[in-house]
Amino acid sequence: MNKKWLYLAMLAAPQAVADDLIHWWDASVTALYGEEYDLAPSDKQTGFTFETAGGWKYGDWFAFQDVTYFNGSNVDKTSTTYGEISTRFSASKILGKEIGLGAVTDLSLAMTFEEGEGQVKSFLYGLGMDIKIPYFSYFTLNTYRRHAIGSGNLSDGWQVTPAFRMDFPLGNSNIVFDGFIDWVFATDNQGYKENFHFNPQLKYDLGAVIFGQHKKDKLFVGFEYDYWQNKYGVNGIDQNTYSVIAKYHF
């Protein structure tokens, strides 16, 4: 499938599946603008991220497609794409009883496929955990083994990915703090350095204020912070920047 059209399938597919298989789903599009990005044709970028997430009979899923445009008059490449598709098979859902211990409320088989332009395809597999932490709307922790696809991809190793969300009521609206961390460590190739990517968003529910409570959790505005130590596994390239964002949930 053409990567630039992947988001269309991501947005449309859940609507075509029976309710007994899909328990809930969400789709959104985010517009971003930021500066001071490293290892790119231009340090100024405008992007669109198409996302879908949901729960199904045997687990959950999350997928996104980034379309990034490089802002500059002298760039040799004007745009690029990158996407990930992730799913987890829940032990609690498959066995029909709660599987967990203490703060860990569920265990899952977690899998992710990464694909972008160039030698960046990877398949990840490992253990996922749902963890109940006070003040967090959700907190998940996936530990993966990374398998790089293609001779030019050196990112074999291990990866830990926590994802989280916190909600802070404010008047008749809400502030959301959510995001993820990708920590790639114990890499198998000396040419690919361990790297740490922290990517949170701080968003205000503007839709609830402008359009009323029936549009709550629809339109958000805010900021995305991006810290990436040893970006793309390149030693000494530490990206530290932010973008202004607007996000709409369908």
Instruction: Say what the pLDDT of residue 5 is.
Output: 44
- Residue 213 — pLDDT band, cuts 50, 70, 90? confident
- The CATH class, in words, for 25-249 is mainly beta
pLDDT tens for each residue of 145-176: 999 998 788 999 999 999 999 999 999 999 99
User: How many angstroms separate the most distant Cα atoms in the chain?
Assistant: 58
pLDDT tens for each residue of 2-47: 454 454 455 555 554 556 899 999 999 999 999 999 999 999 999 9
Q: What is the CA radius of gyration of the chain?
A: 19
| Mean pLDDT (whole number) for 76-83 | 92
Instruction: Say what the pLDDT of residue 150 is.
Output: 83
pTM beyond 0.85: yes
Residue 222's nearest CA partner among 212, 211, 235, 207 is 207
CA distances from 33 to 14, 21, 28, 44 (A): 29, 37, 17, 8
- Residue 240 — pLDDT band, cuts 50, 70, 90? very high
The pLDDT of residue 232 is above 60: yes
- Residue 56 — pLDDT band, cuts 50, 70, 90? very high
The domain ranges of the chain are 25-249
The pLDDT of residue 193 is above 90: yes
> What is the residue type of 176?
V
Residue 214 makes CB contacts below 8 A (sequence gap 6+) with: none
Instruction: Say what the pLDDT of residue 13 is.
Output: 53
pLDDT tens for each residue of 83-138: 999 999 999 999 999 888 999 999 999 999 999 987 789 999 999 999 999 999 99
